[in-house]
């Protein structure tokens, strides 16, 4: 694994598993997106599985969304929540998510959400390119990922604290510590950081 800070690029030579295959096949259908939350830990070796992968995309109008929707439906995926495109867009516009899985399956699924708050905007604006073999994925900034997972850990969700620790331990020599501490302060997660560092 090689993290090039200047290029904001990580090269991974990992063996592809079924979850990676699902994510790579789905993300290939999108122009702009960022993967966030649990999968960002898992792609770098966190020893746990997951049933869903969180993905953020810029807001789009019905015309643009229709093109994307058709492409997804024609590529072996289906929306679990609804078969109606207008309903799917309405769900997204109210700030909720829709889920896509391979046709006839429910797990794994892609939790698909519009970018709507500052945390989302930061994750998208500071995304990192991950190159696996000859395929590419975009993931959230690692500093934000750690801070965000620590914030979720405040609710007592230890899985999130463990995800944060995995990324922190793996990249601590390469992280922008000033930025990490700033984000942790902004997300009121100083106590949780003390637990995992």
Partner 1 sequence: MNINFEEINREVEKNFKERLNFIKIWAEYVKTHSDEDWSEQQNILINSQFNQ
Using rule CB under 8 A, residue 71 touches partner 1:
no
Using rule CB under 8 A, residue 24 touches partner 1:
no
Q: What is the rounded CA–CA span in Å between residue 99 and residue 123? A: 20
Using rule CB under 8 A, residue 47 touches partner 1:
yes
* Binding residue (CB under 8 A) for partner 1 from 98, 127, 165, 184: 165
DSSP states of 28-75 as a string? TT-SS-EEETHHHHHTTT-S---SEEEEEE----HHHHHHHHHHHHTT
Using rule CB under 8 A, residue 162 touches partner 1:
yes
Q: What is the rounded CA–CA span in Å between residue 25 and residue 43? A: 15
Using rule CB under 8 A, residue 61 touches partner 1:
no
Using rule CB under 8 A, residue 49 touches partner 1:
yes
Using rule CB under 8 A, residue 196 touches partner 1:
yes
* Binding residue (CB under 8 A) for partner 1 from 31, 83, 107, 190: 107
User: How many residues sit in the footprint of partner 1 (CB under 8 A)?
Assistant: 27
Give the neighbor-by-neighbor strand order of the sheet with 98-102: 2-4, 9-12, 128-132, 135-139, 34-36, 52-57, 109-114, 98-102, 77-79
Binding span for partner 1 by CB under 8 A among 47-55, 72-80, 141-149, 183-191: 47-55
Q: What is the rounded CA–CA span in Å between residue 125 and residue 104? A: 34
* Binding residue (CB under 8 A) for partner 1 from 63, 104, 158, 178: 158
* Binding residue (CB under 8 A) for partner 1 from 6, 15, 74, 155: 15
Nearer to partner 1, 34 or 43 (CB): 43
Q: Are 49 and 65 in contact (CB under 8 A)?
A: no
Write out the two tokens for 196. 């995992």
Nearest to 170 by CA among 42, 9, 25: 42
Binding span for partner 1 by CB under 8 A among 16-24, 63-71, 75-83, 111-119: 16-24
Binding-site ranges for partner 1 (CB under 8 A)? 1, 12-15, 17-19, 42, 44-49, 51, 107-108, 158, 161-162, 165-166, 169-170, 195-196
């Amino acid at each position: 694994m090689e993290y090039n800070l200047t290029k904001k690029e990580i090269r991974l030579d990992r063996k592809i598993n079924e979850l990676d295959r699902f994510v790579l096949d789905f993300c290939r259908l999108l122009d702009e997106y960022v993967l966030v939350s649990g999968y960002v830990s898992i792609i770098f070796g966190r020893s746990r599985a997951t049933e869903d992968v969180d993905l953020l995309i810029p807001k789009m109008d019905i015309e643009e969304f229709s093109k994307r929707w058709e492409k997804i439906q024609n590529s072996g995926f289906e929306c679990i929540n609804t078969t109606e495109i207008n309903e799917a867009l309405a769900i997204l516009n109210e700030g909720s998510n829709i889920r896509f899985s391979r046709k006839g399956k429910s797990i794994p699924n892609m939790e698909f959400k519009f970018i709507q708050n500052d945390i989302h905007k930061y994750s998208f604006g500071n995304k990192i390119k991950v190159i696996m073999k000859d395929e590419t994925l975009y993931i959230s900034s690692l500093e934000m990922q750690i801070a965000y997972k620590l914030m979720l850990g405040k609710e007592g969700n230890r899985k999130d604290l463990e995800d944060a620790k995995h990324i922190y331990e793996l990249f601590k020599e390469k992280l922008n510590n000033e930025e990490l501490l700033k984000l942790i302060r902004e997300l009121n997660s100083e106590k949780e950081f003390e637990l995992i560092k």
